[in-house]
Amino acid sequence: MRRALLPLLFAGVLCAQTGQPTKDELSRMIDDMRAAIRREDWSEASRISIRINAALLMRTRTLATPGLELEHLQMMAGSDPIRRNPFLPRLTKAAFAADDYARAAGYADEALSAAKQGVFWWTGDAIHQGNIVLGRLAMGKGDVEEAKRALLAAGRTPGSSSLASTGPNMQLAKELLDRGEADTVIRYLEECGTFWEANRGKLAEWIVLIRAGLKPEFGANLGY
């Protein structure tokens, strides 16, 4: 199995080093593969096939925009609440990332409304992401007080399996910290301690740094 993966790994490294092949280069690779098939050189045909697949995968990933992700999620979610509700946290984030702020606000409100129906596996994410996006929209309008309220509401989520492992979204907290709202951010981090079980001391470290007047490096938590 490992030996079978080596050519594909090599192809991935090659693409990363040389950049995306142009359409002309892809056409030449296809012609080379056809020639290898005609002379029944199956090893060479297989190697070229792996290179083509890696190149096409690379181009496909490049074309994956926030707008396309939003469209994909919308198709998957549908309109039936049982199927749709678990997608609402992701729809909210995707709409914001696609700069579709009206739709982001609508999905956030829908997520928070759905979360009132009971505690399901997605409820904690809906409360967290819905409030984070509404807070960031408020920041965009200059309404810092509403953004602070939304941040604290995001921290009062009942949690979820993903929040327990990866932790909270820190983007709104960072934006408020940049505006000098350290006390609110500290309160938010204290709330997050109730659900982020695997924080490995990060919350305590961030709180200490903020109290010292410093700005922590929130790393991957800016994207959750």
| pLDDT tens digit at each of 224 positions of the chain | 444 443 334 334 334 333 556 777 777 778 888 888 888 888 887 777 777 777 666 655 555 688 888 988 899 898 999 999 999 999 999 999 999 999 999 999 999 999 999 999 999 999 999 999 999 999 999 999 999 999 999 999 999 999 999 999 999 999 999 999 999 999 999 999 999 988 999 999 999 999 999 999 999 999 88
What pLDDT shows up at residue 61? 54
Q: Give CA–CA dist 83/65, Å, rounded.
A: 24
Q: Which of 38, 63, 88 is the last residue of a domain?
A: 63
My answer on whether 44 and 18 are in the same domain is yes
**In a shared domain, residues 126 and 188:** yes
Is the domain of 95 the same as that of 190? yes
Count of the separate structural domains present in the chain: 2
Q: Which domain holds residue 37?
A: 2-63
The answer, as to whether pTM is greater than 0.75, is no
